[in-house]
Amino acid sequence: MLSPKKVKYRKKMKGRMKGAAYRGSKISFGDYALKATQCGKMTSQQIEAARITINRTIKRGGKMWIRVFPDKPMTKKPAETRMGKGKGSPEYWVAIVKPGRILYELTGVEENLALKALTLAGNKLPFETKVISKDATI
């Protein structure tokens, strides 16, 4: 799973997910991409599950880029714990995804195979996505 090697602070504030993605909203490396159309939190397990789905579908043909990284710790209090006594300990890492953010990019594969792989990967994620291409045929 993806996670940062070192962070300045162990716990982060929850924050808000408003607005559209400014950075990472254009295809930079590949020909086809998976783009988020809603905001959400993408855990490192979900990033890995979608990556495995893409790799199994394209069968080692072409190249893939992961354009998100989980850099925000999510905390959780133990089960059956009373209120108060501070914030829980960090449990897992998430990437905050805003609408318009490119999640994965592909190149070196046929259009129908890229469409299938990215659609299957989008089904693993907790928000809506769409497949786009550099030349806008999809």
The pLDDT value given to residue 71: 96
Among candidates 93, 31, 90, 85, which has minimal Cα distance to 68? 93
Residue spans per domain, the chain: 32-76+88-133
The pLDDT value given to residue 127: 97
The pLDDT value given to residue 61: 86
The pLDDT value given to residue 88: 95
3-class secondary-structure state, position 45: helix
The pLDDT value given to residue 137: 66
Runs of H (alpha helix) within the chain: 44-58, 111-123
3-class secondary-structure state, position 83: coil
The pLDDT value given to residue 90: 96
CATH number for the domain formed by residue range(s) 32-76+88-133: 3.90.1170.10
DSSP 8-state secondary structure symbol assigned to residue 96: E
Confirm if 133 and 104 have CB atoms less than 8 A apart: no
> pLDDT tens per residue, the chain (138 residues)?
899 999 999 999 999 999 999 999 999 999 999 999 999 999 999 999 999 999 999 998 899 999 999 999 999 999 999 999 999 999 999 999 999 999 999 999 999 999 999 999 999 999 999 999 988 766
